[in-house]
C-alpha cells in the first residue's frame, strides 16, 4: 500500500485533509490487479477487492475517519468522496483508478480517497485489506463505474444507480462498525470495543457543545 497525504488545518470553507491510500496485490513479482484486456486494466481479482472495500465502506469509515471533525470533510462539493462508487476521472467517487498507460502493469492500482490523516494507519490498512479480501472470498462484483461528478445527481438517480453514501457523522459510522463482523474479527474484538468506547465519548462530548456558529446564527433571532 502507498499512502498519499494532503494536510491542511481545519478551516471553514476549505477542502479537508485527505489520506489517499493506493492499493494493489502482488505475487512473485506480478501485479495481480492488472489485466491488459480490461478497459480499466483491472483484473477480476482487483474488482472483487474493490467491491469488498465498497461493501464495508460505512463501517470502514469509523476506522479511516475516526474523529468528529472527519465528517466535516466528507460533505458534497469539497473534493472529498461522499458517494460509494468508483471511476477513473471522477473525483467525487470513493475509489479512483489512477490513469496509467496500457501495458504499464506495475502502475495498476486502486486509490481509496475517503481516509483522512487522523486515522491510525495500522488499523486503517489492516481494515481495508480485510474488507478487500472479503470481497475476493465472496466473489463480490462492483457496480458499473461512474465518470461524472455525483455531487449533482438527484437522490432518486443515485438510488437507481445503486450509489450509496458514507455515514454523515461519527455516531453513524461507529454504529456501522459495531455491526461489521469481518472488520471486528480482523482487528480484534478488544480493539474495536475500545475504539467505539472512545468514539462514543467524543460524540457525547461534541453534541453538547455550543459553537460560535450557533451563537452567531441564533442569538439575533431568538
Q: Render pLDDT for 171-189 as a digit per residue (tens, 0 to 9).
A: 999 999 999 999 999 999 9
Query: Does residue 28 contact residue 161 with C-beta atoms inside 8 Å?
Result: no
pLDDT at 220 over 60: yes
pLDDT at 11 over 90: no
Is 30 strand, coil or helix? strand
**What is the rounded average pLDDT of the residues 153-163?**
75
Amino acid 10: pLDDT? 58
Beta strands in 106-200 (DSSP E): 110-112, 164-165
User: Domains plus CATH for the chain?
Assistant: 2-218 (3.30.590.10)
Is 141 strand, coil or helix? coil
Structural element, H or E, at residue 201:
helix 189-206
Distances (CA, A) of 32 to 27, 78, 110, 127, 132: 7, 33, 12, 20, 13
Q: pLDDT category, 8, cuts 50, 70, 90?
A: very low
* Angle in degrees, CA 143, 17, 74, rounded to 5: 45
Any idea what DSSP says for residue 34? Answer: B
- The Cα–Cα gap between 170 and 138 comes to 28
User: Which grid cell sits at 92?
Assistant: 467525487
pLDDT at 163 over 90: no
- 125-134, 153-162, 176-185, 197-206: range with lowest mean pLDDT: 153-162
pLDDT at 14 over 80: no
Q: How many of the other CB atoms lie within 10 Å of CB of 48?
A: 21
pLDDT in tens, 61-97: 999 999 998 998 888 776 778 889 998 877 778 999 9
Amino acid at each position: 500500500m502507498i499512502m498519499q497525504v494532503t494536510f491542511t488545518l481545519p478551516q471553514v470553507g476549505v477542502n479537508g485533509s485527505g489520506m489517499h491510500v493506493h492499493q494493489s496485490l502482488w505475487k512473485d513479482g506480478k501485479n495481480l490487479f492488472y489485466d491488459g484486456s480490461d478497459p480499466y486494466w483491472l483484473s477480476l481479482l482487483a474488482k472483487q477487492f474493490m467491491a469488498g472495500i465498497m461493501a464495508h465502506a460505512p463501517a470502514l469509515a469509523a476506522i479511516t475517519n475516526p474523529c468528529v471533525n472527519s465528517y466535516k470533510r466528507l460533505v458534497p462539493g469539497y473534493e472529498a468522496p461522499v458517494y460509494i462508487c468508483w471511476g477513473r476521472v471522477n473525483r467525487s467517487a470513493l475509489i479512483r483508478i489512477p490513469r496509467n498507460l496500457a501495458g504499464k502493469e506495475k502502475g495498476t492500482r486502486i486509490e481509496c480517497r475517503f481516509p483522512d490523516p487522523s486515522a491510525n494507519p495500522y488499523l486503517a490498512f489492516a481494515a481495508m485489506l480485510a474488507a478487500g479480501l472479503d470481497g475476493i472470498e465472496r466473489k463480490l462484483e462492483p457496480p458499473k463505474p461512474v465518470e461524472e461528478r455525483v455531487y449533482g445527481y438527484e437522490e432518486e438517480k443515485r438510488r437507481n444507480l445503486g450509489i450509496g453514501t458514507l455515514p454523515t457523522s461519527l455516531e453513524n459510522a461507529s454504529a456501522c462498525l459495531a455491526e461489521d463482523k469481518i472488520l471486528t474479527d480482523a482487528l480484534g474484538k478488544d480493539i474495536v470495543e475500545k475504539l467505539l468506547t472512545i468514539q462514543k465519548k467524543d460524540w457525547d462530548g461534541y453534541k453538547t457543545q455550543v459553537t460560535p456558529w450557533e451563537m452567531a446564527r441564533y442569538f439575533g433571532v431568538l
